[in-house]
Structure 1
């Protein structure tokens, strides 16, 4: 696998993590079978993709980028799908998280 392929898998894993978080929310404490099964499938997929990406990418940088995608994506999903609040402070923290992810990528070897 190439570096670009590893990055693609890392980004895919981050988005699958967001989809997993949404499915867990929709599973309502694992009381809804379809959403519960979906959450388990997404969990397996994002762990597999993350594990493959970590074969080439540095752990600290990759994990920070992956969790950043998950954190930012989950906040955005909460706003879009669950009516969570949008305010200046939340948007500022998203921006700070994004800057941290970019900084780690730029300084990783």
Structure 2
């Protein structure tokens, strides 16, 4: 990605770490890792969340409580996060992502 090369090149000659402001769309993971390893503090605007369907909900619309192992939907309904195995620490599937749950 051309913009990652430019950003990395601009900060290569800095004698001291700098605060770098940017957008995640302009940097690759390797470029971010290299800049952080060099001591630069990256303040990046995250990619906006998108709903699965037009006008639908995003992950930010739900309250996920990993300690209580519950999820609250935008309408206020609370449901348990179901465990894949009975003995803690359990891994649970929430929106297609496996999350490590704390012991109960």
Q: TM-score normalized by structure 2?
A: 0.23
Q: Which one scores higher on RCO, CA 8 angstroms, separation ≥ 6?
A: 1
**TM-score normalized with structure 1 length:** 0.22
Between Structure 1 and Structure 2, which shows a larger proportion of strand residues?
Answer: 2
Larger radius of gyration: 2
